[in-house]
Structure formats: C-alpha cells, structure tokens
Amino acid sequence: MAPTTRAASAKAKTANVLPAKATKISKKDRLKPSSHPARPKIKLLSNGLLDVANVSDHLKENVRCNSVSSPLLRLPGELRNKIWYYAAEDTEVYVTFHKKPTSKSRHRPAEVINGEVRQNGHHTTIDQSIFCLPQVCRQVYAETATLAYARSKFTFPADCYQTLCGFSSHLNTAQRKSIACVQPGSCTFEIYYSERYGHYYGCEFRYLFPGLRTMIVSQGAMGQVKAMNRYHMDRELRDHEWQEWILTKIWEIDGVHLKVEFSPEASTP
C-alpha cells in the first residue's frame, strides 16, 4: 500500500465523521398521552391550603428521608418553629396594581429592596409568591404555609381601592385570616372610614381580613383626613386630636379590639 501523508490521513478521517441527524418529532407524536401513569393531584383543604398530610405512594419514601436525614427537619418541632418565626420576621410587603398577563408578557417577579418585598407592577406570566419558604417541601409547607402572612405588614401605597379588593380576592381563606397588620393608602383609608363611601363599598377591614389586629395610619392617610374634614370642624384640631378622631372612626367600624398605630411621619411636633 502506498504511504499517505499526515494531512491526507486527517482529511480522510474527517470525511468519515457525519453530523448526527436530529430526530424530528411530529405534532401527532407530541399530542400523544404520556405512557407514565398519572400521579394524583394534591387536594385542597376547605380553607384553601394544600392537603399535604395525605402523601402519595411515590413520595412516601422521600418524605420519610427528609424527616430523618435533613439537618433542619430532624430538629425538634419547638426549635424549628423558632427558626421559622425569625425567618419571617419584620417583612413589609408593598401591594401594587397587577396587570392581566398576555401571551407577550414578560416574567417580572417580586423583588426585595433593603429588606422590603415589593411586588413589581409590570406584566407577569404566572402568579409569583413572594414567600418562598413554604415551597421547599411538604413538611416545611405544613409548618409555615401562613406564617409569613401573619408576620408581615401589608402596605397598599396605590390610592386605588380596587388594589386592596383585588389582592384580598386572590388569597385563600387561610391566608386572609392570617393577615394581622395592614397600612392602607390615603384614598383607600378615606373610603374605609368615611360614611359617604364605607357602607356603599363594604370595605370594613375585618371583613377582608378577619384576623386583623393592627392598622397603621400613614402620613398620606393622615393628610387626607385633615383635607377632607378640616372645614367641617368647629375649630382647628391639633395632631393628637386628629388621631383621637381617627381612632373613634376606626373603632366604630372595626371595634375597639383593633390596635391603631400612627407612623412617625403622620404627626408633627
């Protein structure tokens, strides 16, 4: 056999290597049902939470391993509860208008800015939970599903009553009952306490959030109260008198059990 040069040999080897042909899947094949058995869906409890107590057969081993092998989940329950408590402490959630998603929507999740969670007002393709801890596993979900709702302050900076109603309508019963602290926007607060609007809109906070314990009156809400009621008073009221007047209005609507706080900016020296 005649000798070949190195370049010719390399060229021959290269010529023998053919590119892999991509397997094309037809539309008919894509629409065929999966051969894997369908897994049962997680059922919902009457309060809207997931029923994670009933574990499917294919997950039982994973659940058992998590409870004994995870350094966190194998801790005593009392210690885990303390960890969850501090993990969900002092979060301020800003609720803003959420546009209806479209086919061209871009995914914009909530973001944390200086320790505060802000729900982005841009388009989003899916509902994003700003509380990620319950998404870890079933056991963590069972122990923390509503904890962040109970430990957070929900602020409604947008002067739009529909934002408040829209937010509450997207929560399940357990989540709504867990919310304990809110700070309404100025116009929303005006609608809330004013006899001109309150009975018409039905915006009692005890109805929207049955577990509410604290309401914070912001600087904007305080200014709105003064602007709308100053000329109906017999005399000019001082800040502490305005606060007493607001307290009376709130307690008439939602009862004296509701704790009312005024933000530091809501009063002047």
Question: Could you read off the pLDDT of 62-116 as tens digits, one per residue?
Answer: 888 888 888 988 999 899 999 999 888 778 888 876 555 555 544 444 444 444 4
Q: What is the pLDDT of residues 8-25, one digit of tens each?
A: 454 545 455 555 555 666
Give the mean pLDDT of the chain.
Answer: 75
Better pLDDT: 248 or 187: 248
* Mean pLDDT across 154-175: 81
- Dump pLDDT digits (tens) for 199-237: 445 567 888 899 999 999 988 888 888 888 887 787 888
pLDDT tens digits, 42-71 = 788 899 898 888 888 888 888 888 888 889
Q: Where are the domains of the chain?
A: 45-266
**How confident is the model at residue 22, as a pLDDT?**
57
Q: Are 179 and 154 in contact (CB under 8 A)?
A: yes
101 closest CA partner among 79, 76, 126 = 126
pLDDT level of residue 141 (50, 70, 90 thresholds)? very high
Residue 15: both structure tokens together: 């010529």
Looking up tokens 């040069």, which residue turns up? 5
In 3D space, the residue among 180, 170, 81 whose CA is nearest the CA of residue 124 turns out to be 170
List strand residue ranges (DSSP E) for the chain, in order.
Answer: 91-94, 111-113, 116-118, 152-155, 181-183, 214-217, 259-262
How many residues make up the chain in this entry? 269
User: How high is the pLDDT of residue 81?
Assistant: 92
pLDDT for position 237: 86
Question: What amino acid is encoded at 230 in this protein?
Answer: R
